[in-house]
Amino acid sequence: MGDAAERVLSLPGLPGGGLVPWLASLWRDLRSRVLARSATKEEAELLHLLEYAASRHGDVLLAARDVDDLDDRLDAQLDDPDVFRWNALISSLALPSLRNEVAESGSFVRAAEPVLGAGQARALEAAEPLLDAWLRAQQAALLLFSDDDMVAGVAAIQAIGPAILTRPDVPPEVAAAFRGALTAGLCTLAVARAINESAKLDGWLARALVERLIDGVRAHLRLIASVPGVNVSEAVMPHGERLDPARIEERHRRARELADRAFAAARKRSARGA
């Protein structure tokens, strides 16, 4: 396993992947502080970056023609190195907020109702216990490490880029958790963009974004909830649904060793037959 992958996998829950929804709950307060000229330089930069990401990536999803097209656009975004660059920048800029702010999903859910419609707003509201558990778990997991560790971790993710989702040295369960976090972030950016533009979404698009956001949150929480020192209610994430990183890593190591031995044996057979 490469040094970058080892650094990433040594950090709980993978750093930064789900920070966009975490920050979305603070977005309005952040904008208010910037407009009132009471924001720090880092907060002003963070708001600028969030609004850039909402425009650059949210607009792409909002332009989807149907559900299949939306999924194709999400896949393309997850293959875009720019997503990993701004994710790393957002993570680095947000570290002070992570130390001091308590994020809850309620403000984002309420702000989203006019653009999602009543039905999908209710679906998002019903998922608030899951969303809040995820936001709190991310903060708790990230606080287990120093700022230097976290900055190095997000830099490693940026260096690996989209390959982190497909690299053979990253266990597929871990890659799926990180994909869920990024998907939730991208869907949140699309909804936030609609909020900022006061653009009411078509019913099918609102439903698809909400479903993918919630599914992504659940996939990521399965990993974070298993981190020692992170407490997540059994009612929100049953223990039977949580991932076991140590067991995953051991199973993945054995599978890689078996595959390497099989490949070496096949090469020997091929050499003898040449």
Contact 86, 55 (CB under 8 A): no
Amino acid at 121: A
First to last CA, the chain: 32
Under a CB-based contact definition with an 8 Å cutoff, are residues 53 and 189 in contact? yes
Share of the chain above pLDDT 90, in %: 34
Phi/psi of residue 133, nearest 5 degrees: -60, -40
CA-to-CA distance for 79 and 100, rounded, in angstroms? 33
CB 19 within 8 A of CB 181: no
Closest CA to 178 of 149, 192, 193, 157: 157
Highest-pLDDT range among 153-157, 158-162, 236-240, 253-257: 236-240
Q: How far is CA 48 from CA 31, 36, 55, 188, 215, in A?
A: 9, 15, 11, 16, 28
pLDDT reported for residue 259: 64
Model confidence over 4-42: pLDDT tens digits?
Answer: 555 555 555 555 566 666 667 667 777 888 888 887 887
Please name the residues in contact with 13: beta carbons below 8 A apart, sequence gap of 6 or more: 137, 138, 141, 142, 177, 220, 223, 224, 227, 230
Q: Which of 10-24, 125-139, 142-156, 186-200 shows the lowest mean pLDDT across its residues?
A: 10-24
Mind listing the pLDDT tens digit for each residue in 42-68? 788 888 888 888 888 999 999 999 999
Please determine, for residue 184, whether its predicted confidence score (pLDDT) is greater than 60.
yes
The lowest-confidence range among 156-165, 201-210, 265-274 is: 265-274
The confidence band for 124, taking pLDDT boundaries of 50, 70 and 90, is very high
26 secondary structure, DSSP code: T
Other beta carbons less than 10 A from residue 34's beta carbon: 17
Break the chain into its structural domains and give their ranges: 3-243, 244-274
Is residue 248 very low, low, confident or very high in pLDDT (cuts 50, 70, 90)?
confident
Q: What mean pLDDT is predicted for residues 161-168?
A: 84
pTM for the model: 0.83
